[in-house]
A = this chain, B = another copy of it.
């Protein structure tokens, strides 16, 4: 590890990234949302003001906007290892997932720990939900066992959004490829595709469509320092997509509507930055997360860390303190400026127990005592020391209250 070079990068990250976010707040919910990076904002602003033209307009300044937009898509595609003409820009990951899953009519295979958007789309089709291991892994064997001759899509997230568990997508891809070959040899022309929601993981682990072996990939700008409701679906040119929204014919007819030019310019910058800093950032976040985990599990040996101990995103720590009410803990910590999540923040204000924790067999009382700590670019070592002190104090306060 080239320390001086990395030290320089830290400086770049710390001086350029979100100069306006309150440094008093320790934000441990990067999986829910990330602020727009200053450099990303700088890439977006011209396309909201000076270069506001409709990319479909005929005059030169608008044609230039169209070229810039296409170039931004090309830059996103390069990071993902795909081609620009394989990208469909969508308004958020949920739309990207719906576009992927609702493009066919056959049988869908997905897992019990997928995001609500994947499960909701799968429910609109004939589908099979595979169980996961107690550590939250979707095994290739489980996927293989669920395949049917009419399965057209397998959808598994790259990393789970509550536990951070990294799925064996390459192994699952081999299963899908084997089924595809079997069909081809049998003269069966029905396609089978693998879709992967990479909303969590870009900027922390390698996300390359060829190396993953996927046919479709969802990437979400809002989780990597880009704007909200900006995402894309990469789909190999062999995949036939059916548009959810038709009209003017933008995105090769696959997503009509005037393009979100500024959002796409921001997405391109955000994913380039995430890619550029990935190796360093993955090591840095794993180190911060491991410090936090060590401090919390030392203070509370009975605490339960869920998910896979190794095959886990570096920034993720899912931890349960038996007996504690997680919602009270969130409130106590919030008063100390430490922002953490209970379970998934994506299910809009629903006070239902996490289906992910149920799927890994976590007892309901432990599930209710769980917090999800997700680290990211806003965090540093000093914050981890303060955060662990605050979390330990809050948990002790709650245990003391319970003992009374």
Contacts and interface: CB of A to CB of B under 8 A. Distances in A.
Of the four ranges (under 10, 10 to 19, 20 to 34, 35 or more), the interface on chain A belongs to: 35 or more
Q: Which of A33, A93, A123 has the most CB of B within 10 A?
A: A33
Nearest to A338: B59
Contacts of A244: 98, 244-245
8 closest cross-chain pairs (CB), A and B: A91-B91, A117-B247, A94-B257, A120-B246, A35-B52, A92-B257, A33-B54, A229-B260
Contacts of A346: 54, 56, 247-248, 258
Given A61-B25, A259-B228, A348 B248 contact: yes
Contact of A227 (B57, B247, B262): B262
30 contacts: A21-B52, A25-B61, A33-B54, A33-B258, A35-B50, A36-B52, A41-B45, A41-B48, A56-B346, A56-B347, A56-B348, A56-B349, A57-B339, A58-B345, A59-B339, A60-B334, A91-B257, A92-B258, A92-B260, A94-B245, A94-B258, A98-B245, A116-B248, A120-B246, A120-B247, A121-B246, A121-B247, A229-B229, A244-B244, A248-B346
A41 B35 contact: no
A260 B54 CA distance: 20
A350 B58 CA distance: 11
A32 to B, nearest CB: 4
Interface in A105-123: 115-118, 120-121, 123
A25 to B, nearest CB: 7
A339 B61 contact: yes
Given A55-B348, A57-B345, 9 more contacts: A35-B49, A38-B49, A41-B48, A48-B227, A66-B349, A91-B260, A98-B247, A118-B247, A228-B262
Contacts of A334: 59-61
Nearest to A65: B33
A20 to B, nearest CB: 5
Contacts of A45: 41
Interface in A213-271: 222, 227-229, 244-250, 256-263
